Structure 1
Amino acid sequence: MDKLKLYMIMLGCKPTGRHTEQHDVFFSLAGSLKETIPHAKAFWPEAQDNMHLDAWREVTHVDGYEVSVVPKTSGPMENKLFFINLGGYKAGEFDEPHYKLLVVAPDLASATQQAKQTAFFKHTGFTGANAHIDDKYGIDVDDIYQVEDILPAGFRDHYSLSVNPMPSQAIDEIHLGYFKLKTILG
């Protein structure tokens, strides 16, 4: 197996009985994108053979920080990587647009404050339909997770994410499109 890397993947599927395509974001550690697929299938078993990828990235850099996979450490890391799913509304549109982001912060409160500074949060909402961070810790918070906490269990037990400042502002490549699993698996 190659050196482990952190992957962020947007899974897509139209499950049996649904009228629209559903999505979820999945994080995994692997040596290659191909190696993430068995973990993605275990994460979303209802998707069966209908699953595809709509977006993916190898997470190595976030806002001036380098992200790497290291053996599990015994003590807390100063910087943590958070995944945040912002939801909002636009007047007259029958939809709830979402903006998914990664944030480096020492704690949940700091990560939440960073998310509330994004243009999406400030401009996607109106009186009675405010922008929000989707549903985990109370008002105005929907989906916010420390990435280490939502990795597949086998990885959480043995690995940590090292998040350290770096002088360059490198940016990860984001791959967008409709990626069939059979194409990824070769």
Structure 2
Amino acid sequence: MNLFMIYIGGDIDGSNVELHDVRFCIGDTIENCYDDLRRQWWGNPESLHLDCWGALDYADGYDILLSKDQPHEIADKLYFVNLGGYSKKEFTELHKNMVVVAPTDSKAKVRALKTVQQWSSRHRDYQFDIEKAVCINDTVQSHGYHIHLTPSVTEKPFDFTCRYVPIAL
């Protein structure tokens, strides 16, 4: 089983622009996640599509493994952190999404902000604040699985695909 991080999009009645969200699903393939994504989508069903997706098997110095068994130690958890901000050069809200490992959501937010501050020091126009931190462990547990985090000696880039894929029924 894989833990997928998925960037979905579509529209909702009355909107002038397409809406997006990041969702987490469990499946052997991305196609196995379509029904779950359809259940999660709050917008117009006929507009639902994927924009980006990838299997999360590494994050923030840890290998990620899904299992039906509970981990022996649960000191750290996996968090998705969404940061929002603005640039004087763009008429939109900018976002930076990341996955971090931390014991609490408040520590996950601090960890995420530190990485953005280092990045933004080279881009003075950008100012970011935490919009939301989501504990991915909770999402996975609601599907009967547990996340096992193991320190890794090898950093692995997040391998993802960006492509428009309609999944509406």
TM-score, normalisation: structure 2: 0.87
Provide the C-alpha distance between the structure 2 equivalents of 1:5 and 1:31, rounded to a whole number of angstroms. Answer: 6
Q: How much is the aligned-residue C-alpha RMSD, in angstroms?
A: 2.5
Structure 1 consecutive aligned stretches of length 4 or more whose deviation exceeds 3 Å: 119-122, 150-153
Q: Partner of 1:32 in structure 2?
A: 29
Provide the C-alpha distance between the structure 2 equivalents of 1:81 and 1:103, rounded to a whole number of angstroms. Answer: 6
Q: Partner of 2:135 in structure 1?
A: 146
TM-score, normalisation: structure 1: 0.79
Q: Partner of 1:173 in structure 2?
A: 159
Relative distance call for 1:125 and 1:44 in structure 2 (3 A) is farther
Equivalent residues of 2:47, 2:166 under 8 A apart: no
Equivalent residues of 1:125, 1:131 under 8 A apart: no
Relative distance call for 1:19 and 1:152 in structure 2 (3 A) is farther
Q: Count how many residue pairs are aligned between Structure 1 and Structure 2.
A: 167
Provide the C-alpha distance between the structure 2 equivalents of 1:121 and 1:87, rounded to a whole number of angstroms. Answer: 16
Show the 5 A alignment for 1:127-142.
Answer: 130-134=127-131
Provide the C-alpha distance between the structure 1 equivalents of 2:11 and 2:124, rounded to a whole number of angstroms. Answer: 28
CA deviation map 1:90-125 (0-9, x unaligned): 125321100111001122232111111123686378
Equivalent residues of 1:115, 1:121 under 8 A apart: no
CA deviation map 1:130-183 (0-9, x unaligned): 52111xxxxxxxx10111223483x0xx2111111011112231111212227x
In structure 1, what residue type is equivalent to 2:162? L
Tell me by how many angstroms 1:28 deviates: 0.9
Tell me by how many angstroms 1:89 deviates: 0.8
